[in-house]
Chain A
Amino acid sequence: MTQALAATAYPTQWKKPPFIESAAWRVALWLGAVLYLVLALGSLEVNWARLVEGLERGGRFVAAFVQPDFTSRWNDILAGFSESLTMTITSTALGIALSIPVAVGAARNLAPTPVYLACRGFIAVSRTLNEIIVAIFLVALFGFGPFAGFLTLTFATIGFMAKLLAEDIEEADAAPLEALRATGAGFLQRLDFAVFPQVMPRFIGLSLYRLDINFRESAVIGIVGAGGIGATLNTAMDRYEYDTAAAVILIIIAIVMAAEYLSGMLRARIQ
């Protein structure tokens, strides 16, 4: 016994256990990573002359952030933000309203299989398609302006909210549902009294979160013509009016931070 113990050479120094256990995998992953980096960095075409030229522009840009120009294009900025904010509110409201039936349809415990598959399919499509790509198409169909943006955000909101709400509904306690069924309650009554009270607090929190996301997205889809502050920003950049662009960006940051703070407070009160 003691001989066997003495025969095994124990390491005298402690070594940190590796993050990935299997040594073969570790080596393979490292080699793969190095190979990829060499290939990727090798195929990177950098125009150094343009970059040096750009640094001077970058300097002007930083200067613009220190001295943003809110006044000379104030009317355009105001119009852009009014479009973005109204787009955010209407699309969030309609998106949430429409996401409820879709979510009920996509909940395994409530919906019959064909409805379930249709709703899940819709959610998958809405979540896979990037907002920008949806916006490009809706602008082509509905013309330039915030209406196309409103439809884009509504479409994205439905997918987002319905997926999360459906998961919540599936996880809800089944006992109240059964109790209501025993009283002879109809489908809508069962939803209203057994399902919604259980998922409502989280649903309200998610809605506030989505309001936040929709505002941020509304600042982007303007770049492809769907209205809002993104269009103003794009125009300012095209005209090399960096100080106006800096003003727009600073206002976006301020609104997002304020919204995050407010929704955080509201969520803390609700939940």
Chain B
Amino acid sequence: MSNETVAVWRKRAPRAELAVFAAWVLALAFTSWAFQVMTQDTIWAFVTDAPKQAADIGGRMLPPAWSYIHELWWPLWETLNIATLGTLLGIVLATPVAFLAARNTTPSRIFVRPIALFVIAASRSINSLIWALLLVAILGPGVLAGIIAIALRSIGFIGKLLYESIEEIDATQVEAIAATGASRAQVMAWGVAPQVMPTLAGISVFRWDINIRESTVLGLVGAGGIGLKLEAALGVLAWPKVTMLLIAILATVVVSEWITAAVRKRLI
């Protein structure tokens, strides 16, 4: 028996193999075309210069300006408030939207539900930093713009997760309450709300953690908190202060993550 007749196992048929290969070539060509379009205005001298710049900035950043922390307590408190009050406002606004968006609780599937879904999608598409940019222009710089920006971004996140969990509730409990002659509001309060309460608590804590991260940078567009200090320090190239700010931000994020993990463990 000659070697040629020995069947060799292959993952795909020759035709399929060719198709997969062609798809890879196309994807690669498309990506490199996109890369070329993207970098047509790039100044490569700045890019090749980067290691030198990194060493330079790195050298300036150390040691951190430790004593600067005394000026950071107030901005950190503001950051905490932006995230917490923003999350609370977000929950208050998102809950009715979620009930209007869920198939089983919405008053009208044809008129109200699409509007509620659009509100959720629009809120989710726009990053809180962009909301803050708009709100600072309207309300003026300050913590209030940050709180509202966080709340507006949270509506979509909380609303989406909450309406999905409302749609998945057990219908028999709702029916049982309705069978006692309860009104619509009573059915909501005793049949639906207890079933989604743990989910809402979990989502809120989760969103609070994300909001802490986001509120640390909102100051870059003037919406208060520690980001304002970061913007100021970067503006005057005070690198040791920037390092201290980054340490403070990282510490805040780690602490919030730790709190979130602890609370979620209790909830679940």
Contacts and interface: CB of A to CB of B under 8 A. Distances in A.
Interface of A: 16, 19, 36, 40-41, 43-47, 50-51, 53-55, 57-58, 61, 82-83, 85-87, 89-90, 93, 128-130, 132-133, 136-137, 140-143, 145-147, 150, 216-217, 219-220, 223-224, 230, 233-234, 237, 240, 242, 245, 249, 252-253, 256-257, 260
B133 interface: yes
A240 B136 CA distance: 12
B46 A143 contact: yes
Nearest to A51: B139
Contacts of B197: 19
A90 B31 contact: yes
A83 B38 contact: yes
A223 B126 CA distance: 13
Contacts of B38: 83, 86-87, 90, 146-147, 150
The A interface, classified by DSSP as helix, strand, loop or mixed, is: helix
Nearest to A85: B34
A237 B217 contact: no
Contacts of A19: 197, 201
A55 B135 CA distance: 11
Nearest to B143: A44
A28 to B, nearest CB: 14
Nearest to A61: B138
A206 B137 CA distance: 36
Nearest to B88: A37
B142 A45 contact: yes
Given A133-B246, A141-B53, A89 B31 contact: yes
A233 B47 contact: no
A69 B201 CA distance: 41
B142 A57 contact: no
Interface of B: 27, 30-31, 34-35, 37-39, 41-43, 46-47, 50, 53-54, 57, 77-78, 81, 84-85, 121-122, 124-127, 129-130, 133-134, 137-140, 142-144, 190, 194, 197, 201, 213-214, 216-217, 220-221, 230, 234, 246, 249-250, 253-254
A66 B90 CA distance: 25
A90 B34 contact: yes
B239 to A, nearest CB: 10
Given A87-B38, A128-B250, A237-B137, A253 B220 contact: no
B127 to A, nearest CB: 4
A269 B43 CA distance: 42
A43 B81 contact: yes
A132 B217 CA distance: 7
B54 A216 contact: no
Contact of A220 (B85, B127, B137): B127
Q: Which 4 A-B pairs have the closest CB atoms?
A: A143-B46, A256-B125, A86-B38, A86-B34
Nearest to B28: A93
A128 B78 CA distance: 21
Nearest to B140: A50
A115 to B, nearest CB: 24
Contacts of B190: 16
B133 A142 contact: no
A40 to B, nearest CB: 5
B46 A253 contact: no
Nearest to B190: A16
Contacts of A136: 234
A54 B121 CA distance: 26
Nearest to B239: A140
B140 A47 contact: yes
Contact of A130 (B43, B53, B142, B216): B216
21 contacts: A19-B201, A41-B85, A43-B81, A54-B139, A55-B138, A57-B138, A61-B137, A90-B38, A130-B249, A132-B129, A132-B220, A133-B246, A140-B53, A219-B127, A237-B133, A237-B137, A242-B137, A245-B134, A249-B126, A252-B125, A253-B121
Contact of A86 (B37, B213, B220, B234): B37
